[in-house]
Structure 1
Amino acid sequence: MKKTTGWLGLLMVLMVPTAEAFNQEIRALFTPDPAQPQKNIFINKTPDSGYCATYPDECKQHNMFSIRIPTRFGPSSVIMPGTGVPIKVPANWRQLTVTNRETGESEVVEVRITGIGSDYFLSHTAASLVGVTDDREGHQKLWTNERWVYAAPPCQYSGVGAYTASTYRFFWKTPSEAPCTKFAAFRIPFMSFETMDFAYELRTPNPLGMSSGLYTGSMNYFLGPGQDFDIGGLNPDDGNLTLDFVLDVQHTLKVDIPPGGNQVVLEPIGGWQSWLEQGRKPVRLVRDQTFLISASSRFTMRLECEWGLPNGCAIVDRVTGIAGIVDVSVSLPNGLTDGTGQTVKRMSLSREASVVFHPAFYADRKPGKLHFEMPESSTNHVILNAQGRPFYGNITVIWDSEV
């Protein structure tokens, strides 16, 4: 009989679960407010959940916003009398970089955690653990330093506390980055903390110095004993928390020219009477044109000329080709400055280089002026060669928010 030997190959696979990071988007928006042109700040657009959703007035008073994440800490092992149950959060300012993906510009955002809260769950009712019949008295006597509505220092009282027989809802303000520890007065077989509320505060850059668009960046935190968020010294379901920041900058740049303002007629100062009646030649030909500007971001100005000469734009007698130079300058309203922070008064514009202007605050329909001037040499040349025909040409003034 022929002997047959068979082999069975087994592929052994060990699957080790890994903790998934919890991601939370933090979104803030800047749009200029005509009613408050000096208010150059981002407005938080992240919907509140947890503490600030329940107590919006308290959070508004302290410029706080809160998020609830579904992370459970625990359960603990046996907690013996005298054992501390710590709470610690990243209360100091931390920096992250947000970047505009289209322009590559980066800015710094700062964030700190200003409050922390949760629900603790006990293995038994607080009253039974303490040996009383009243739930409130049970929660009070279970800890050496009062109920959890009263924050352990350096955390601070927020006035929020709610309980059932075996649970206690609390929220503490966190002015400093140090453990706030409650101490057990009785033996607790085990406890856990269900969900986590945290309040945060932001420091955002000045949006007037930022280009329009979305600026994004992330801040990562670790959760667990001795980590950024330490809730009761217990292990969480998820050990990572990532805050994804989105700063949305929506600028305004709008220029309004009054009706007929696109037809600029150059004249001597005081009109043509001195020339017509007394034969006195004009020294210069000028015209100012008012415009209304709304601007909340940097912008540039430059010229395009139908008739360009090496030293500027020109107007031309189309028959003879005789031309005269026209210099163009601009004066801007208060709050719009040049690159050195100076007010803008009769700043020359050119074809070769764009001039960058900066808003100190939002200018909403504020008047500025374009100054058109033919200098003395060109004025004399044009008058000597005039033959009763108009000199004209198109000069385009360009305001551009794409700096």
Structure 2
Amino acid sequence: MPDLIPLARLRALLLGLLCLGLDTAFASEVLISARVEDQKLVNTTPRSRWCSIYNLCSGHNTIDVPFEMSKQINLASPDDRDKAYVHLPPRQSFTLTNRSTQETARMQLGYRFVSMKYTYQTQDVIGRSVRNCRFESVSGSPNASKFLWSVYNSDAPAACVSVAGSSDELQLSVFNELMLTYLADFPSAASLSPGIWEGYIDYPIGSSNGFDFGNVLQLSSNNIRFRVEIQVKHDMQVEFPASGSTVEVIPPGGWKQYETTNQIPPKLVHDSPLKIWAASPFAVYVTCQYSPNPTHCAMQHPRVTDRAAVYTTLTLPATFNFNGQPVTRLPLGVGAANAKMITPVGNVSSQPGQVHFEVPQSDIRRMLTYFRGATYSGDVTLMFDVNI
């Protein structure tokens, strides 16, 4: 006949265990965080405090999960769920949403390693063999032991069942300090618009799509939620020639053909070359020293308040598009409220483009009729913003 647990000790154990489960409606929650650096997603989730004892701190994403349970383990039971039992969730996808734009993207989570601290009374409930999974390690004493197992297939993991002898003595055990390694398939950095992306996936305890620890007495929570938050703030680069800060608008072909006639040039123009690097959508617009309306800037007479309109357009190579169309002399509006969103096709590096400035003939006629010889000027600033 097996030894019996002293009644006073059993009551004390059960009292402690009941305290764990006072409010099982609460879900355990963990946060996986990431941010974009140099056009790449970098995982910024704090590592598990236990990863060093298993040499899992590098090359693995580890995380601690606030979860605790108790179960009465029967090593001789024909039901594997009465033993030390862990069934990790299958790889699943869920939705991330940009908090500002409400755009959505999909990502996946899967799991490979699992570790827990556990207690037992007289018979160790974790053996050095585990059915369906890989045994990695076990160590400690009745008051503080830890095990580490891993699954063979993170897409559809099998249930891990410890093989620890055949004693029919019931062992009241508490399991906590849950550590996992997770496999995160984040969306590509280039596909995420600037802002904070967030989403979550819930894993009900005991569900085929959640974490299953077999037949348990008490749970600190009946659901484990993994919340994901990604901060996206893209980098980009635009280069102009060293002399590109000052431009002069002139008639196509120059002024010479108009100097001895009364003809009015059809327009005044200047094309400024640029090079651009980008891996994600960006907004482009202009700000003006003189801004008569949202569609264009202006330049002004030095002594009177006569102004001439300056229209700004943008041309980029076929590796960029605006609303699915080529960026060819795309009119640029004034101010962020009138920005145009440009989308690169992949990671674009050192691609050529042009900014076009144009003064219409109607304004040239007025300038030549009333203010011939005057120099009009004004500032036009191009704004390229990956975080608008």
TM-score, shorter chain, exceeding 0.5: yes
Contact 1:298 1:357 (8 Å CA) reproduced: yes
Identity %: 21
Largest Rg, 1 or 2: 1
In the TM superposition, what whole-angstrom CA distance separates every residue of 1:159-195 from its partner, at most 9, and x where no partner exists?
6223468756231125215434456651242343633
Equivalent runs, 1:110-121 vs 2, <5 Å: 110-119=108-117, 121=119
Give, in angstroms, the shift of residue 265 of structure 1.
0.8
Find out whether 1:171 has 2:155 as its counterpart. Answer: no
Contact 1:338 1:358 (8 Å CA) reproduced: yes
Scaled by the length of structure 2, the TM-score of the pair is 0.70
Q: 1:91 to 1:53 in 2, by over 3 A?
A: farther
Find out whether 1:22 has 2:28 as its counterpart. Answer: yes
Q: Residue 76 of structure 1 aligns with which residue?
A: 72
RMSD over aligned Cα atoms: 4.4
Matched residue of 2:249: which SS? coil
Q: Residue 66 of structure 1 aligns with which residue?
A: 62
Find out whether 1:247 has 2:230 as its counterpart. Answer: yes
Q: Which amino acid aligns with 1:80?
A: A
Where structure 1 has 5 or more consecutive residues not aligned to the other structure, the ranges are: 1-14, 34-39, 130-137, 141-146
Paired residues in the alignment total 355
Find out whether 1:189 has 2:194 as its counterpart. Answer: no
Contact 2:95 2:104 (8 Å CA) reproduced: no
Give, in angstroms, the shift of residue 202 of structure 1.
2.2
Find out whether 1:200 has 2:182 as its counterpart. Answer: yes
Contact 2:283 2:384 (8 Å CA) reproduced: yes
Give, in angstroms, the shift of residue 45 of structure 1.
0.9
Q: Which amino acid aligns with 1:118?
A: M
Contact 1:41 1:204 (8 Å CA) reproduced: no
Correspondence for 1:214 among 173, 178, 196: 196
In the TM superposition, what whole-angstrom CA distance separates every residue of 1:329-388 from its partner, at most 9, and x where no partner exists?
112367543221x55233232459532212344557765431113456766776576622
Q: 1:44 to 1:243 in 2, by over 3 A?
A: same
Q: Residue 354 of structure 1 aligns with which residue?
A: 339
Moved more, 291-300 or 263-272: 291-300
Q: 1:358 to 1:162 in 2, by over 3 A?
A: same
In the TM superposition, what whole-angstrom CA distance separates every residue of 1:223-252 from its partner, at most 9, and x where no partner exists?
358782222433454123233322222233
Q: Residue 4 of structure 1 aligns with which residue?
A: none
Equivalent runs, 1:2-401 vs 2, <5 Å: 17-19=22-24, 20-31=26-37, 33=38, 40-49=39-48, 52-55=51-54, 60=59, 64-69=60-65, 71-80=67-76, 82-84=78-80, 85=83, 86-100=85-99, 107-119=105-117, 121-125=119-123, 139=127, 147-148=129-130, 152-153=131-132, 155=133, 157=134, 160-163=136-139, 169-173=147-151, 174-175=153-154, 176-182=156-162, 185-191=165-171, 192=173, 194-195=175-176, 196-224=178-206, 228-239=210-221, 240-252=223-235, 261-269=244-252, 271-272=254-255, 284-291=267-274, 293=276, 295=278, 297-303=280-286, 306=290, 308=292, 313-315=297-299, 325-332=309-316, 335-340=319-324, 342-351=325-334, 353-361=338-346, 368-374=353-359, 387-401=372-386
For 1:68 and 1:319, the matched residues in 2 are separated by: 70
Q: 1:248 to 1:320 in 2, by over 3 A?
A: closer
For 1:227 and 1:93, the matched residues in 2 are separated by: 8
For 1:371 and 1:249, the matched residues in 2 are separated by: 31
Matched residue of 1:76: which SS? strand
Scaled by the length of structure 1, the TM-score of the pair is 0.68
